[in-house]
Amino acid sequence: MIGKKHGMAAASKHRIRAPFWVQGLQPRNVAVEEKVMTLFQPDILVGAQFQNTYQRRFHLDPERVLMLAVLQDAVVCFQENLTARCKRKQVMHLEAEEWILNTDRSYLFSFENVCEALGYDASYMRDGLLRWKRAMLELDSERSTRQAIGRVGT
């Protein structure tokens, strides 16, 4: 009888320590139970780790963030509206191209000043965009030539 009480005490002791969601289960492995219990442990964060979640990924002043947004918008308008048929989109492309080709530094948000503030070489970026435009126009003219030949042949 003493053996039974001793066995029951050990089992009840295990049930007392186990959380309610695993009380009826017999753990197969102590290591598995410890891993499960670590899921419910509180996370300990250092103050710097907490602050890092609320900081920007790149360190730019708000003015530079605005300049980057202006540059990005100009490049998107320049590239997406290259072969547009809509008059409004053609105007967007032409305005973006005019802004990119302008070398005037007299106003704050000129292409030259924006590139300089962001650390880009304005002439290198301008040349790259113009090379891209030539390549896309050549590709578009080849496609239209193929389509015209295909229509004549049918």
Where do the structural domains in the chain lie, given as residue ranges? Answer: 2-39, 62-153
pLDDT(143) > 70: yes
Our CA angle for 102, 105, 108, nearest 5°, is 110
Stated pTM of the model: 0.58
Encode pLDDT of 51-95 as tens digits: 766 665 666 788 999 999 999 999 999 999 999 999 999 999 999
Q: Please enumerate in sequence order all residues whose Cβ is within 8 A of that of 81, keeping only pairs 6 or more positions apart, or say none.
A: 89, 90, 92, 93, 96
With 0-12 CB in 10 A as exposed, 13-18 as middle and 19+ as buried, what is 67? buried
Tokens linked to 36: 């499960």
Percentage helix, strand, coil for the chain under 3-state DSSP, each rounded to 5: 70, 0, 30
Percent of the chain with pLDDT over 90: 47
